[in-house]
Amino acid sequence: MRARAALPAAALAWLFLTAGAAWPLRACAAGTASPPVPVARSARLVIDARIRPDELVLSIIRTRNHTPVTGAGKVTVTLDGHAAKVSAQKDGYVVSTDGLHGGKHSIAVVVAHDGIRELLTGAVTLPTVSSTLETLQKHSTWAWWVLNIAVLLLAFRMISNKKKKSQ
C-alpha cells in the first residue's frame, strides 16, 4: 500500500504560508541600525542619521570639541514639512518615521545649543518596505498560475480518492 500525504497537513501549511505573506520584509533587522549617513552640516554642528525600522536616530555633534548635543527639548524635527515625534535617548535623538513611505524626504532640524538656536536642513532616504503579499500582487499572473495548479491538483486528488472508495 502506498503512503499518501495528509491533505489537512498540506492545507494547513498553505494557510501558514499565505498568512505569513502579510508580514513585512524589512530592509534592516529590528533593533539594528544602518551605518551613519550625513544629513546636515553647519559651522557649529554635524548631524548624522542611522535608519532603523520606522525611526531615525539622529546624532548631533559639535564641531568645536566633538561633543554630542544631548537633553530633552533641545531638538525639534520636521519631515517633509510636518512635525515629527522626537525623543532624547542615550544614543541620540530618535525620530519617528512611522507612516512615511520609502524614498527621499526633506528634513529640517532646529537645535538649541550653547545659547543659540540653529536650523539645519537636509535630506534623508528611507528604505522601501514591502511585504510578500505586495510582491505577489506585482507578479499576480504567477500567483494565479500557482493557485490554479494547486486547485487542480487538489481536485484530481479528491476525484482519485473518490474513485478508489467506490471500487
Q: Is the pTM for the entire model greater than 0.75?
A: no
Residues 6 or more apart in contact with residue 120 via CB below 8 angstroms: 39, 40, 41, 42, 45, 47, 108, 109, 111
Q: Over the chain (167 residues), what is each successive 10-residue block's mean pLDDT?
A: 55 56 44 78 93 88 91 90 91 86 90 92 84 66 81 90 78
Taking domain 28-127, whether its CATH number is 2.60.40 is answered by yes
Helix axes 140-166, 7-20, angle to 10 degrees: 170
The domain spans of the chain are 7-24+131-166, 28-127
Q: What is the DSSP letter of 70?
A: -
Q: Which three cell numbers stand for residue 146?
A: 500557482
Q: What share of the chain is helix, strand, coil (3-state, %, to 5)?
A: 30, 40, 30
